[in-house]
Amino acid sequence: GENVEQHPSTLSVQEGDSAVIKCTYSDSASNYFPWYKQELGKRPQLIIDIRSNVGEKKDQRIAVTLNKTAKHFSLHITETQPEDSAVYFCAARETGANNLFFGTGTRLTVIP
């Protein structure tokens, strides 16, 4: 099955700086890569996703890039704000399936 690795496990940035979280996957059959944000005590919320036919996607301060050849994808958050503080999970999904394989999460702390 798919194996997703995520780095770093913790990340602290000053408010206004950028944050980058990286993930790698093992199964070349994976074609969908969502990112979830989970605040303490709350459900994971889908914040952005990318499909394998696209190299980059942006939504306001959040962007995701995908390198299919290298099997890695990254989340970029610009102009970070304290409310961006949360645990972020990357995930991968194989073609024809619905279940997600998750990375181990990155705890992002934005220091005011």
Partner 1 sequence: KAGVTQTPRYLIKTRGQQVTLSCSPISGHRSVSWYQQTPGQGLQFLFEYFSETQRNKGNFPGRFSGRQFSNSRSEMNVSTLELGDSALYLCASSFKLAGAYNEQFFGPGTRLTVL
Which residues here bind partner 1, judged by CB under 8 A?
31-32, 34, 36, 42-46, 49, 51, 89, 91, 96-105
Least distance in Å: CB of 99 to partner 1?
4
Signed CA dihedral, 5, 28, 19, 86: sign only: negative
Residue 52 makes CB contacts below 8 A (sequence gap 6+) with 30, 31, 32, 33, 66, 68
Q: Which is nearer to partner 1, 25 or 101 (CB)?
A: 101
Least distance in Å: CB of 47 to partner 1?
11
Least distance in Å: CB of 81 to partner 1?
23
**What backbone torsions phi and psi does residue 69 show, to the nearest 5 degrees?**
-65, -45
